[in-house]
C-alpha cells in the first residue's frame, strides 16, 4: 500500500512522498479482488486515531495526475465522502458498472482513501495539517480466471539474463504478479534487486541490481510474491536462456 501526505502550511500545499507520518483512518487490507460476477465488493476502514476524520475516497486507473472529477473508471464507489469517529469504522462499497473489460486477463485499478484530520485548536502562529492518502490496488478478475490460478501465478514468471547482464522477469500468466523481492546466490554471494515490481499479464520487466557477473543459465533465483491476502510466498526458479 502506498501513502502520500498532503501538508497544508499557512495556505500553501506541499506533496510529500514517503513521509513518516501515519494515517488515523486505515484500510483493513492490502488489496481488493473484484470477481466480475459479484454485484459488489466491500472494503473496511477504521479510525485508529483519537479524533474524528473526514475521508474522501475515489478510484483511479493509475494516472494520478488526472483530476478526480475527470476520472473515468468502470466502478461506482459509495460513499465518496464521509466522517469517521475515533474508534469507529466505515464500509466502502465498490460496484462494477458493466463496461467492457478484457476477459482473458486481469485489469488493475487503484482505490484512494484521503484522511483529512480536523483542524487543531491554535492560539496563533502557523498551523501544520497533514492529510494522508492511502492507495491500494483493485484487481478486476473476469469469470474465466479464478483464485486458484491467481495463487499459482507466481510459478509462471520466467527469469532470463539480458545481454548486458541484467535480470529480466516475464509474466506468462493472465494475472498480475507482485514481486516483493528477488535474490540470487552467485558463488555463495547473495545479490538482491533494489526494489520489487508488479508484472502485468505478459509483461517483461528488468529488475535492477548490481551487474550480474558470473550468472549463467541454471543459476537459482529466489523471489517473494504477494498473494490475494497480502501474504508473501517465497519461491525458487532457475534462470533460463533469453
On average, the pLDDT of the chain sits at: 85
pTM of the model: 0.85
**pLDDT of amino acid 54:** 95
Choose among 78, 77, 59, 81: nearest CA to 68. Answer: 59
Tell me the domains of the chain and their CATH numbers. Answer: 2-141 (2.60.40.10), 147-238 (2.60.40.10)
Range with the poorest average pLDDT among 15-24, 158-167, 222-231: 15-24
Q: Assess whether pLDDT exceeds 70 at residue 22.
A: no
Of 78, 105, 102, 109, nearest to 92 by C-alpha is 78
Average of per-residue pLDDT across 53-77:
94
pLDDT in the model for residue 128: 61
In this prediction, residue 55 carries a pLDDT of 96
Confidence of residue 13 (pLDDT cuts 50, 70, 90): very low
Question: Who contacts 115 (Cβ-Cβ below 8 Å, separation ≥6)?
Answer: 23, 24, 25, 53, 55, 131, 132, 133, 134
Tell me the CB-side half-sphere exposure of residue 204, using CA atoms within 13 A.
Answer: 7
> Is the pLDDT higher at 220 or at 22?
220
Helix (H) or strand (E) holding 1, with range, is none
Check pLDDT > 80 for residue 71.
yes
Q: What is the pLDDT of residues 195-232, one digit of tens each?
A: 789 999 999 999 877 666 667 778 889 999 999 999 99
Percentage helix, strand, coil for the chain under 3-state DSSP, each rounded to 5 = 5, 50, 45
Percentage of the chain surpassing pLDDT 70? 84
- DSSP structural state of residue 137: E
pLDDT bucket at 27, cuts 50 / 70 / 90: very high
Question: Of the given ranges (64-68, 82-86, 91-95, 135-139), which has the lowest mean pLDDT?
Answer: 64-68
**Triad 195, 201, 207: Cα angle to 5°:** 20
Rg (Cα) of the chain, in Å, rounded?
21
pLDDT tens by residue, 129-147: 678 899 999 999 999 998 8
Amino acid at each position: 500500500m502506498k501513502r502520500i501526505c498532503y501538508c497544508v502550511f499557512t495556505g500553501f500545499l506541499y506533496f510529500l512522498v514517503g513521509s513518516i507520518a501515519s494515517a488515523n483512518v486505515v484500510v483493513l487490507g492490502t488489496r481488493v479482488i473484484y470477481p466480475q460476477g459479484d454485484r459488489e465488493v466491500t472494503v473496511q476502514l477504521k479510525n485508529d486515531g483519537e479524533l474524528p476524520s473526514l475521508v474522501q475516497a475515489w478510484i483511479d486507473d493509475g494516472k494520478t495526475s488526472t483530476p478526480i472529477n475527470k476520472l473515468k473508471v468502470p466502478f461506482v464507489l459509495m460513499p465518496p465522502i464521509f466522517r469517521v469517529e475515533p474508534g469507529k469504522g466505515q464500509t466502502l462499497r465498490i460496484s462494477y458498472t458493466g463496461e467492457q473489460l478484457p476477459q482473458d486477463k486481469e485489469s488493475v485499478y487503484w482505490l484512494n482513501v484521503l484522511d483529512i484530520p480536523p483542524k487543531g485548536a491554535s492560539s496563533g502562529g502557523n498551523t501544520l495539517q497533514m492529510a494522508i492518502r492511502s492507495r491500494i490496488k483493485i484487481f478486476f478478475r473476469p469469470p474465466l480466471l479464478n483464485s486458484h490460478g491467481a495463487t499459482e501465478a507466481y510459478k509462471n514468471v520466467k527469469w532470463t539474463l539480458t545481454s548486458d547482464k541484467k535480470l529480466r522477469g516475464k509474466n506468462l500468466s493472465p494475472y498480475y504478479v507482485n514481486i516483493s523481492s528477488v535474490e540470487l546466490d552467485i558463488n555463495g554471494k547473495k545479490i538482491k534487486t533494489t526494489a520489487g515490481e508488479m508484472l502485468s499479464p505478459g509483461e517483461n520487466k528488468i529488475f535492477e541490481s548490481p551487474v550480474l557477473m558470473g550468472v549463467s543459465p541454471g543459476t537459482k533465483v529466489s523471489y517473494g510474491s504477494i498473494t490475494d491476502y497480502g501474504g508473501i510466498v517465497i519461491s525458487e526458479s532457475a534462470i533460463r536462456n533469453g
